[in-house]
Amino acid sequence: MDLSIGWAHAGPSILASFLASIVECVEALTVILAVGSVRGWRGALSGSAAALAVLLALVAALGRALMNIPLDIVQLVVGALLLLFGLRWLRKAILRSAGLIPLHDEQAAFSRNIEAMQRFGGVRGWDKVAFAACFQITMLEGTEVVFIVIAVGAGGTGLLLPAGLGAFAALIVVIALGIALHRPLASVPENTLKFFVGVLLSAFGTFWFGEGIGLRWPGADWAIAGLIAAFLAVALLTVSLCRRQASCDAVTVRP
Amino acid sequence: MRWIGTIFREIFGLFVDDGSFAITILVWLGVTRLLLPRLDVFSRWSGLILFAGLGLVLVESAVRYARGRQTTLDKQGPKSASHS
């Protein structure tokens, strides 16, 4: 890790990576708990462990490949991808906060998965169903975490480690809570997390893309803090605009 | 091997769920990539211009979604609106 990187970069990198990863880990945990409790833990945990091994290999390979690409190109491409990803999350979180689309319900997802697992027959020997289900969900959610870590960490020298640490901390926290509770983390304020993570990722994406096209930000790295505040203000304003629109709907369509 | 296709679809879905929103973001990034370095104000205002465009794209897309929902509700009538 490059020790010269400032807190202005490392702090938001750890936070963005931690919060984004915790959302994905909670979604994976819901399915793994459902599969494990119905089909048994051996197949479920083996499937997740296998997927984690594949993902770690992917991170190592991609991380090494990224080192060979010029930094401005990485910043340009990663910035654009991060903006597509972050603004998509932020838009969805805004629409959820405004009540225009329903909130994600982990408890309902858990029940659906339990029902789906019970439809398969009984377990004889090695449980392929449990293995495949947990491998798939860990790969799906883990791929998102890998992208977040690489996107947040690839924009600057020495940022991959703080971003990785943030994601690893999220994984540990979710595993610990999963072991302690043995049920889905239904009380996690997922939309609030997604709202804040969308703001952080959009700010990072704008900063990296600007750096990639050779833009000099006022205040250098501290411009990230300004971008976070600005995106937060725009997002809150948009929630209020959408709520107003929704309340106009109610008035317009009422008989 | 269907899960590989599912993973690719999920990866694409990470970046795109509303096509016009994603395209508008990419168009704005392309415009800023081409034009900002040629402007005299590049060093001073370009960060603000880049951010302002992205902010506008976000606001427009969310408000358009809300309006689209209103149009749908208007077509369905007051009975269905009370259920939504």
Query: Could you tell me if residue B20 is inside a domain?
Result: yes
Helix, strand, or coil (residue A102)? coil
**pLDDT tens, A24-37?**
888 888 888 888 88
CA dihedral sign, ordered A49, A18, A70, A83: positive
Give the Cα-Cα-Cα angle A201, B57, A226 (nearest 5 degrees).
45
Instruction: Answer whether residue B83 is part of any domain.
Output: no
Report the gap between the CA of B59 and the closest CA in chain A (Å).
6
Q: Is residue B55 part of a domain?
A: yes
Convert the pLDDT of each residue in A47-104 to its tens digit.
Answer: 999 999 998 888 778 777 777 778 788 888 888 988 998 999 999 999 999 888 887 7
- Rg of chain B, C-alpha, whole Å: 19
The 10s digit of each residue's pLDDT in A91-133 is 999 999 988 888 776 677 777 777 777 776 666 667 788 888 8
> Residue B33 belongs to what domain range?
2-77
What does the alpha-carbon distance between residue A116 and residue A118 come to, in Å, rounded to a whole number? 6
Please report whether residue B82 resides in a domain.
no
Q: Which chain A residue's Cα is nearest to B51?
A: A206
Measure A255 CA to nearest chain B CA, in Å. Answer: 6
A182-229 pLDDT, tens digit per residue, is 666 666 677 888 899 899 889 989 998 998 888 888 887 788 889 999
Question: Min CA distance, A219 vs chain B (Å)?
Answer: 11
Decide if A84 and B69 are in contact by the 8 Å CB cutoff: no
pLDDT in tens, A236-248: 999 999 988 877 7
Across chain A, the runs of DSSP E, i.e. the strands, are: none
Looking at chain A, how many residues does it have? Answer: 255
The ipTM estimated for the assembled molecules is 0.81
Cβ(A173)–Cβ(A181) below 8 Å: no
Q: What is the dihedral of CA A210, A212, A215, A219, to 10 degrees?
A: 70
Q: Which chain A residues touch B6 with a CB distance below 8 Å?
A: 136, 140
Backbone torsions φ then ψ of A68, nearest 5 degrees: -90, -5
Helix A128-154 to helix A71-97 angle, to the nearest 10 degrees?
120
Residue A5 one-letter amino acid:
I
CB contact under 8 A, B62 and A91: yes
Percent of chain A at pLDDT exceeding 90: 20
Cβ-based contacts of A72 with chain B (< 8 Å):
none
- Answer whether residue B51 is part of any domain: yes
Q: For residue A84, give the nearest of B7, B22, B55 by CB distance.
A: B22
Judging contacts by C-beta atoms under 8 Å, the chain B residues touching residue A87 are: 21, 25, 54, 57-58
Report if pTM > 0.90.
no
Distant-in-sequence, close-in-space partners of B22: CB < 8 Å, separation ≥ 6: A84, A88, B15, B16
Number of C-beta neighbours around residue A23 at 10 A: 22
Domain count, chain B: 1
Instruction: Give the separation between CA A174 and CA A178, rounded to whole angstroms.
Output: 6
In a domain, B84, yes or no: no
Q: Report pLDDT for A255.
A: 46
Instruction: Suggest the residue from A27, A204, A213 to mutate for an interface test with chain B (most B CBs closer than 10 A).
Output: A213
Q: Per the CB < 8 Å rule, is B58 touching A238?
A: yes
C-alpha A95: how far from chain center: 18
Contact between B62 and A144 using a beta-carbon 8 Å cutoff: no
In a domain, residue B38? The reply is: yes
A209 → chain B, closest CA residue: B29
Q: Of A54, A56, A43, A28, nearest to A132 (Cα)?
A: A43
> Would residue B7 count as lying in a domain?
yes
